[in-house]
Amino acid sequence: MLFNEPSPLETKVLTRRFGLPNSASIDTYLATEGYQAFLKAAKMKPEEIIGEVKASNLRGRGGAGFPTGMKWGFVPRTSPKPKYIVVNGDESEPGTCKDRVLIENDPHQLIEGVLIAGLSVDAHAGYIYIRGEYRYLIEVMEKAIAEAYEKGWLGKNIQGTGFDFELYAHTGAGAYECGEESALLESLEGKRGIPRIRPPFPAVAGAFQSPTILNNVETFCAVPAILRDGGAAFAALGIPKSGGTKMTCLTGHVNKPGVYELRLGFPVKQMIEEVGGGIRNGKKLKAFVPGGSSCPVLTAAEVEGATMDYDSMAARKTMLGSGGVIIMDEDTCMVKAALRIMRFYAHESCGWCIPCREGTTWLKKILMRFHDGGGTRTDIDLIGDIAKNMLGRTFCPLGDAAAMPTISIVEKFRQEFEDHLNGKPCPYEHSGSVVTV
């Protein structure tokens, strides 16, 4: 089921089956070139499969943007240990809701991507980790897996290729931190989602201490198209160094929020104006978050000339991230936005690293006081100072995720903090409502 109308400006590769009758069924999948990429890959050498993925310039779609082919190449294929494929479907970066539609509308595309990854490293089992809140997707995935077994696309000697693969859907139970790959592996092993010290990386010691390919749902979903049409064709959809398309979630103050598949390098202004139908109520843009709440925010001026790809965002000292675009109009209180973002990271910090555990909690308290009108001028610098002291000082990126948006908001919207000083009521908060605890 689709929750928003598609846009004519989309480049439909991963979403090509969306809107077809019973798009999630194996019959629809098989009738639309489904599993053909797997059959093609089964005749290829593992290094040729990885070569195609490298040629596609596919980069991890969960947020980190690491080149996928290179990641697969790190797995020691000849290791005597069993190898595993793990799918990160923990989607929990605020602003992000794309993996949900990918699983719901085309679960077999994900299965096929996993099978191809399995061929490339000689893995014979895989786990699809889905966040607990997406319970209905566990049912969708289990149904798709059952269909695939029934029709011989999972199990022993798949379609006579001699390749065996077992696949399981695994539910989480509510924890943002489990979207971090090593925390996810801990959770998959029945433990608290505390990140692991790396190295060793999951490619060498991942699930059950065995070599593991671990990628985001969207990353695996891109793989069938890459094998089917060739890595070069996928790369050509994007721009140099950033191949293909990105599932982009438009959220916040736009007229047509929704999940859209856009080619990499899509101009931000066109995305807001034409795909998103412009800012709601004819207002002006104030702040733009490219890919989930952990990204540094951009001002309207910084958005000029920006395109949705890794390099354009890096040049503006932010990240393409997960594709969770958050658009804030001129009436948004940036102090409140910073507070709400910090409240989230304080709640989700696992507590292992002190800069993250203490930093997020103190920043939340200071921002709360500030938004309530109890802020002092020195607090403004203090917020930036605490956040900067968290950067790079934690085992996993959660500390950075909390610090980066905060630093950018304090630096770029300092005037709004000034406007809250001396007990003045929030200039933007019309109803008097303040975020609770």
- String of contacts with another protein for each residue 63-82, x by CB under 8 A: -------------------x
Let me know the angle formed at the C-alpha of 288 by 429 and 314, rounded to the nearest 5 degrees.
145
Closest CA to 341 of 420, 378, 287: 287
Q: Is 213 in the site for another protein (CB under 8 A)?
A: no
CA–CA dist 208, 170 (Å, integer): 15
Of 143, 170, 388, 393, the residue at the interface with another protein (CB under 8 A) is 170
Window 373 to 432, contacts with another protein (CB under 8 A): 431
Among 105, 293, 307, 312, binds another protein (CB under 8 A): 293
The verdict on 156 binding another protein (CB under 8 A) reads no
3-state secondary structure string, 193-205?
CCCCCCCCCHHHH
Give yes or no for residue 253 binding another protein (CB under 8 A): yes
Q: Which stretch binds another protein (CB under 8 A): 19-27, 335-343, 393-401, 413-421?
A: 335-343
CB of 353 to another protein, least distance (A): 16
Distance CA 437, CA 303 (A): 33
399 within 8 A of 355, measured Cβ to Cβ? yes
Using CB under 8 A, count the residues that bind another protein: 63
The CA–CA distances, whole Å, from 286 to 78, 119, 150, 253, 271 equal 53, 47, 52, 10, 16
With binding defined as CB under 8 A, does residue 337 bind another protein?
Answer: yes
Question: What sign does the CA torsion over 68, 140, 96, 338 have?
Answer: negative
As a whole number of angstroms, the distance between CA 156 and CA 172 comes to: 28
Contact 72, 213 (CB under 8 A): yes
- Smallest gap from residue 97 Cβ to another protein (A): 5
Per CB under 8 A, 191 contacts another protein: yes
The one among 110, 114, 115, 188 contacting another protein by CB under 8 A: 188
Residue with tokens 């916040």: 252
Q: Does 262 bind another protein (CB under 8 A)?
A: no
- Site for another protein contains 250 (CB under 8 A): yes
Q: Is residue 424 packed enough to be buried (19+ CB in 10 Å), middle (13-18) or exposed (0-12)?
A: exposed
Identity of the residue, 96 or 120, whose beta carbon is nearer to another protein in the bound complex = 96
H/E run at residue 89 = strand 84-89
User: By CB under 8 A, is residue 294 in contact with another protein?
Assistant: no
Q: What is the rounded distance in angstroms from the CA atom of residue 58 to the CA atom of residue 402?
A: 27
341 lies in the binding site for another protein (CB under 8 A):
yes
Q: Choose, by CB under 8 A, the member of 120, 212, 245, 251 that binds another protein.
A: 251
Distance of closest approach, residue 435 Cβ to another protein, in angstroms: 6
CA dist 318 and 314 (Å) reads 5
Q: Is 110 in the site for another protein (CB under 8 A)?
A: no
Pairing of strands 285-289, 125-130: unpaired
Under rule CB under 8 A, residue 336 binds another protein: yes
Smallest distance, another protein to C-beta of residue 210, A: 8
Residue 348 interacts with another protein (CB under 8 A)? yes
Residue 332 CB, nearest distance to another protein (Å)?
A: 7
* Smallest distance from another protein to CB 18, Å: 14
Strands 298-299 and 285-289: antiparallel
Choices 9-17, 49-57, 187-195, 233-241; region in contact with another protein by CB under 8 A: 187-195
The widest CA-to-CA distance across the chain, in whole angstroms, is 75
Contact between 340 and another protein by CB under 8 A: the answer reads yes
Q: Is 245 in the site for another protein (CB under 8 A)?
A: no
> Do you find a cis peptide bond into 200, omega within 30 degrees of 0?
yes
**Binding footprint of another protein on the chain (CB under 8 A):** 3-4, 82, 91-97, 99-100, 125, 127, 131-136, 168, 170-176, 187-193, 208, 249-253, 257-259, 293, 324, 326-328, 332, 336-337, 340-341, 344, 347-348, 350, 431, 433, 435-437
